[in-house]
């Protein structure tokens, strides 16, 4: 196998390389003066099993173009198989038409990756599992929860934990975590009774006196988890912690989380951390490098990937 990384998340790519003890294929991934992406693979890859590591995180379009152009360069260099390793698959939230005359961009992006020449995809905690079906090539969707469970066992007293889904859409994910921890489950149900009225947050489940653990796939503006934390504390929760796989953290999200009532937010390194994130006292990061490294090893050696989660 050979590894190649785009520019979106070098630290994660290097950690994966260390896990696998595989050096990176020499390649030039740079910009022309007008910001067009240019890629040159600097060593022979004919007949190789290639793994391209690139999150399509901010700036999403630039990183997506890098991924597509790297795949195209590998295909034209006669690589035998090309796996797009996409720790964070951007555009995933645009997986349906929210209204008439709107796109399904997640499907478009899946088509672009396939058409560029990817033979398979390896990703982590897709926003919705069904997005796997947008790809007509084999797609492995890894779960970040086992890494979260390890962290929760190290940092929190397991006895009074209540796992909370911050919205109705995340119930399956939260139920999975509650099951792994042997904890109870509560749900934040956001409702706007009438147009123009502000959103009401109802909590399904008794959270009073409990240590609550919000779980989500993405934290973007931070609004969802910070508002959920406020609602839980209002209902008598003792403390609120949050876990999310992908720390998109755009705009003023880091400041919002820093100033929130959350004891901590734990994210993975699927997206490279900014200086602000690294400095934020209540944001902690756990690594999915070993998980991805092991999955790459298993794909390259035709071994089961699903058994990683047995």
The residues in 149-168 that bind ligand R5P, with binding defined as CB under 6 A, are 166-167
CA distances from 231 to 202, 212, 222 (A): 8, 11, 14
The residue from 107, 179, 190, 238 that is catalytic is 190
Q: Return the number of the residue (87 or 170) whose C-beta is nearest ligand R5P.
A: 170
267 φ/ψ angles, rounded to the nearest 5 degrees: -125, 170
Angle at 212 (CA atoms; ends 275, 246), nearest 5 degrees = 35
Report the nearest approach of ligand R5P to the CB of residue 61 (Å): 18
Using alpha carbons only, what angle is made at residue 218 by residues 213 and 224, rounded to the nearest 5 degrees? 65
Interaction of residue 251 with ligand R5P, rule CB under 6 A: no
- Mask for 63-102, x = binds ligand R5P (CB under 6 A): ------------------------------x---------
Which of 65, 51, 71 lies closest to 116 in space, CA to CA?
71
Neighbours of 78 (CB within 10 A): 11
78 versus 250: smaller Cβ distance to ligand R5P:
250
Query: Among candidates 202, 203, 156, which has minimal Cα distance to 177?
Result: 156
Alpha carbon distance 106, 104 (integer Å) = 6
The yes or no reply on residue 266 touching ligand R5P (CB under 6 A) is no
One of 7, 105, 221, 290 touching ligand R5P (CB under 6 A)? 221
Query: Of 156, 160, 125, which is closest to residue 139 (Cα–Cα)?
Result: 125
Peptide bond before residue 59 is cis, with ω within 30 degrees of 0: yes
190 as an active site residue: the answer is yes
Give me the least distance between CB of 126 and ligand R5P, in Å please. Answer: 11
The verdict on 125 binding ligand R5P (CB under 6 A) reads no
How near is the Cβ of 127 to ligand R5P at its closest, in Å? 6
Residue 219 binds to ligand R5P (criterion: CB under 6 A): yes
Instruction: Closer to ligand R5P by CB, 161 or 218: give it.
Output: 218
What is the set of active-site residues? Answer: 190
Residues that bind ligand R5P (CB under 6 A): 93, 166-167, 169-170, 216-224
């Amino acid at each position: 196998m050979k590894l190649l990384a785009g520019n979106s998340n070098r630290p994660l790519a290097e950690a994966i390389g260390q896990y696998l003890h595989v050096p990176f294929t020499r390649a030039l991934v740079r910009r022309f003066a007008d910001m067009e992406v240019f890629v040159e693979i600097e060593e022979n890859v004919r007949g190789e099993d290639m793994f391209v590591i690139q999150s399509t995180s901010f700036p999403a379009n630039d990183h997506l173009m890098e991924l597509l152009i790297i795949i195209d360069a590998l295909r034209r260099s006669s690589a035998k198989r090309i796996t797009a390793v996409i720790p964070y698959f951007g555009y995933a939230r645009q997986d349906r038409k929210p209204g008439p005359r709107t796109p399904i961009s997640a499907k478009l992006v899946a088509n672009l990756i396939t058409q560029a020449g990817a033979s398979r995809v390896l990703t982590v905690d897709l926003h919705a599992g069904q997005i796997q079906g947008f790809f007509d090539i084999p797609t492995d969707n890894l779960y970040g929860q086992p890494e979260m469970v390890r962290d929760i066992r190290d940092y929190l007293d397991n006895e009074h934990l209540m796992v909370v889904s911050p919205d109705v859409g995340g119930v399956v994910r939260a139920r999975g975590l509650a099951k792994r921890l042997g904890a109870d489950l509560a749900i934040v149900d956001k409702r706007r009774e009438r147009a123009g009225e502000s959103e009401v947050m109802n909590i399904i489940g008794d959270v009073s006196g409990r240590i609550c653990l919000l779980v989500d796939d993405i934290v973007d503006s931070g609004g969802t988890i910070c508002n959920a934390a406020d609602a839980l504390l209002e209902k008598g929760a003792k403390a609120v912690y949050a876990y999310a796989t992908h720390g998109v953290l755009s705009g003023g999200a880091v400041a919002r989380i820093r100033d929130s009532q959350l004891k901590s937010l734990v994210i993975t390194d699927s997206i490279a951390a900014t200086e602000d994130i690294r400095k934020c006292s209540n944001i902690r990061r756990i690594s999915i490098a070993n998980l991805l490294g092991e999955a790459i090893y298993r794909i390259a050696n035709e071994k089961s990937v699903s058994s990683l989660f047995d």
